[in-house]
Amino acid sequence: MPGFDDAALSQDAFLGGEVQLLQPKQGYRAGVDPVLLAAAVPARPGDRVLELGCGGGPGLLCLAARVPDLKLTGVELQADYADLARRNAALNSVDMTVVEADLAELPMDLRQQQFDQVIANPPYYRAGAHSPAQDVGRQIALGGATELNVWFDTAARRLSHKGYLHMIQRADRLPEMLGACLGRLGSLEVLPLAARVGRSAELVLLRARKGGRAGFKLHAPLILHDGEAHLCDAESYRPDIRAVLRDGCALPWPR
C-alpha cells in the first residue's frame, strides 16, 4: 500500500494555521511557492480547479482556504504523495479528488472534464540539470522527466474556454514557458518575484488564458522582503506579502 508512515511525517501550519499539512520529514517539503501560486488565482465559488503535480496538496488546500465551494482535482504521479494529498484534504475537511497519474497520460474520465482554473508548480530544473537528491520524491519534484511543453499542452486541453492557467517557475525558464503557450493560450501576463529591491527575479508567476487575445504584459517585479539585505533572523516579508502567507489574502496582482 502506498503512503508515508506517520513517524516519517511532520504536521506543519500554513496560512497562520488555517491549513494543516502533513509532510515528509525527509523528502520534498512545500515552502512559500505553492502558497503564492494559490494566492494568484482569481477563482470564484463554484469554479472547477485542476492542479497538475499537486504533491501533498498545499496549493489546492491554500486556495480552498481563501475561496469556498470550489470543485478541486489534483493529479500526482507519485503514489506516496497522492495518498498524502488525500490525507491532507481529510485533515483540513476539504472535498478534493486526487488522481494518481502521469499528466501526459491522464485517465479517460479526467480527459473528458473541463476546468475553469488550472494551476501548476512544475519541477524547477530540467531532468539532470541539478544536483541529485537522495530522496526519490524530492528528486522528481526538483527535476522531473516530463518536458515543460507537456505541462502546457495538458493544461490547455483541460481548460474551458476563457479559463486561466497559473504557473510558478524559475525565471530562467520563462522563454520555454512563453514558447509553450504559442497556439495554445493567450492574454499572457508575467509577474516576476524578486526577493528584495535591486535583486533579479528568481521566480515568475505566469497567467495565461485559453482563448485570450489581450496583449502580452510583463509586470514590474513583486518584491517579497523589506530592505536591501537580510540583517537578522526575524521575518522580513513586506506587509502585503505577509498578508498572503499568514492571512490567506489574494496576491496583489498588478492591473
Report pLDDT for 140: 45
Rounded (5°) CA angle 7-12-16: 165
Model confidence pLDDT, tens digit, residues 51-110: 999 999 999 999 999 999 999 999 999 999 999 999 999 999 999 999 999 999 999 999
- Check: CB of residue 253 under 8 Å from CB of residue 37: no
CA distances from 245 to 25, 125, 184 (A): 21, 25, 32
Q: Which fold would CATH assign to domain 6-184? A: Rossmann fold (3.40.50)
Q: Is the pLDDT of residue 228 over 90?
A: no
What's the full length of the chain, in residues?
255
- State how far the alpha carbon of 31 is from the alpha carbons of 56, 142, 254, in Å: 12, 13, 23
DSSP H helices, the chain, are: 33-40, 58-66, 79-91, 108-111, 136-142, 148-158, 174-181, 239-247
Is residue 46 predicted with pLDDT exceeding 70?
Answer: yes
Look at residue 129 and tell me whether its pLDDT is greater than 70: no
Domain locations along the chain: 6-184
pLDDT at 126 over 80: no
